[in-house]
Amino acid sequence: MLLEKLKKSNYTVVLTGAGMSTESGLPDFRSSGGLWAKEDPSTIASTDALNRNVEKFFEFYRHRVIGLQSCKPHIGHEILAKWEKEGLIQSIITQNVDGFHQKAGSKNVVELHGTLQKVHCQSCGKEYNNDKYVNEQYQCECGGKLRPSVVLFGEMLPEDALMKAAEESEKADLFIVFGSSLTVTPANQFPLIAKQNGAHLTIVNMEPTELDLYADETVHGRKIGEILKELHVSLR
């Protein structure tokens, strides 16, 4: 069904979550064996930690950046980038902070939670490459602290990204979810916005999601990269 819908759709929007990244080898922090099962995120990945527990904050994000640099986009990211170039999909909304969609070549990407590919000064806002963290350089030229350009616990999501994601969802006549459990608000609202505006909703996730009952089509227990490869071959 998804293949036929892709061929006929005039405006296709994709939402990607952690399941898209885990196929590149990145850990899913929310899974039962993930980092959040062992550590309280508010103590290490929050605005409070940046101000009160800064050494642990820097150490945690340095390891995340090093882990990120040891991985790369997988075939699924590359296919989505090709499809955008060919006009098969119009935009990607992502919950991921790895920047792999852009690295694979996608242009129209809405990053709901920011990016780990950059760091910026908490004081003056100047941006730097994430190599600063790898090299244990945590201070800006102005003397301010460098922090990752991600949304920390205790911060609001960027308003411009939320508005753009809502606009894209409203325009969709096909909305595909790849690798999101759809438990986190407001990301889980975008498939519903698309559905309310008449879109066909397909959810592809390893496990069933809370929004499966609203979907026109669901796929469980399969790797995203494999599904995208099969679709890509069938579209040729």
Provide the annotated active-site residues.
113
Q: Which of 146, 153, 155 is nearest to 45 (CA)?
A: 153
What span, in angstroms and rounded, lies between the C-alpha atoms of 203 and 190? 12
Number of H helices, E strands in the chain: 11, 9
Q: What does the buried/exposed string (b/e) look like for 72-99 if buried means 16 or more CB atoms within 10 Å of the residue's CB?
A: ebbbbbbbbbbbbeeebbbbbbbbbbbb
Whole-number Å distance between alpha carbons of 1 and 8: 11
